[in-house]
Amino acid sequence: MRGETPALRNFSLRIEQGEHVAILGPNGSGKSSFIKAITRECYPLQGSTLKILGRERWNIFELRSHLGIVTNDWMLACSRDYTGRETVLSGFFSSVGLWPYHLVTPEMDAEADKIIRFLEVEHLAARNVSEMSSGEARRFLIGRALVHNPQTLIFDEPTNSLDLHAMRKLHAAMRQIAQAGKSVVLVTHTLQDIIPEIDRVVMIQDGQVFFDGPKAEALTDDRLSTLFQSPVEVQARNGVFHALY
């Protein structure tokens, strides 16, 4: 609920393991509420059902080993005086940074190093996250989400505050993750964020599913103009869609 108003109404959606899906909608449409329901920051009202990997009840720490979360809230929480490598390692402990009582095993060290190489940020690993650009820091946040080898990565508005170069780097990392066999669930209001590997688009408007189907059917002038209640012209190039207003 948002005060007296339900964030999501008559909302029914199923995402299969292994799918790459974009959740698209204007600000205030309910996209982030949907993600917070998945990550158990919010809970559905009595009478509603939400199953994650086939289960309604989860130990939240166990759930985090199955889902990797990359959100702006976590970005703000992790922008502290911890190095990039410490930020990645902290994912093993569901913490922000490392603490004296955290026991980092050789296996954790090896996994963190492998992920840092995969994301091509070895040269930044010893720098504090607070001293990095937004794009650099976000790649370490992705690394933090990957340490448990989760089945699915959830990106919530991942390119907010990024410049064009950082956006390109982040999109490349998202594509690597999708191609490596992880399921990607992307929440965005920006068409350019929808990487070519995503083939299903769920549109949310006023807390309800407005459209759910193939990307080519979703990203049309008429449908997007109705969704955003503003004239939109769509162009596609090399599998990436762009909106012209």
- Reported as a single tens digit per residue, the pLDDT across 103-149 is 999 999 999 999 999 998 999 999 999 899 888 988 999 999 999 88
**197 assigned to some structural domain:** no
- The number of distinct structural domains making up the chain is 1
CA angle in degrees (0–180, nearest 5) for 154-113-196? 35
The domain in which residue 97 lies consists of 70-149
**98 assigned to some structural domain:** yes
State the pTM of this model.
0.88
**94 assigned to some structural domain:** yes
**220 assigned to some structural domain:** no
The position carrying tokens 């999109």 is: 171
**108 assigned to some structural domain:** yes
pLDDT in tens, 140-187: 999 999 998 898 999 998 888 788 888 898 999 999 999 998 999 999
**56 assigned to some structural domain:** no
**47 assigned to some structural domain:** no
Q: How confident is the model at residue 80 (pLDDT cuts 50, 70, 90)?
A: confident
**164 assigned to some structural domain:** no
What are the residues whose beta carbons fall under 8 Å from the beta carbon of 197, sequence distance 6 or more?
20, 175, 178, 179, 184
